[in-house]
Amino acid sequence: MRIALDTNVLACAEGINGAKQREAALAVLRKLPQEFGVIPIQVLGELFNVLVRKARKTRREARDALLSWRDAFSVVETSPEVMLAAADLALDHQLGIWDAVILSASAQAGCRLLLSQDLQEGFTWAGVTVVDPFASQPHPLLHALLDERAE
How do residues 51-109 score in pLDDT, each as one tens digit? 999 999 999 999 999 999 999 999 999 999 999 999 999 999 999 999 999 999 999 99
Could you report the per-residue pLDDT of 7-24, keeping only the tens digit for each?
999 999 999 989 999 999
Largest separation between any pair of C-alpha atoms in the chain: 43
Mean pLDDT of 34-48: 96
pLDDT digit string, tens, across residues 96-145: 999 999 999 999 999 999 999 989 999 999 999 999 999 888 888 888 87
Q: Of 150, 151, 110, 117, which Cα lies nearest the Cα of 131?
A: 117
In this predicted structure, what is the pLDDT of residue 148?
62
Tell me the CB-side half-sphere exposure of residue 132, using CA atoms within 13 A: 11
Q: What share of the chain has pLDDT > 90, as a percent?
A: 85
What is the average pLDDT score of the chain? 94
Please say whether the structural domain 2-150 has been given the CATH code 3.20.20.60.
no
Going from N- to C-terminal start, the domains of the chain cover 2-150
In whole angstroms, give the CA distance from residue 141 to residue 92: 26
pLDDT at 143: 83
Q: How far apart are the first and last CA of the chain?
A: 18
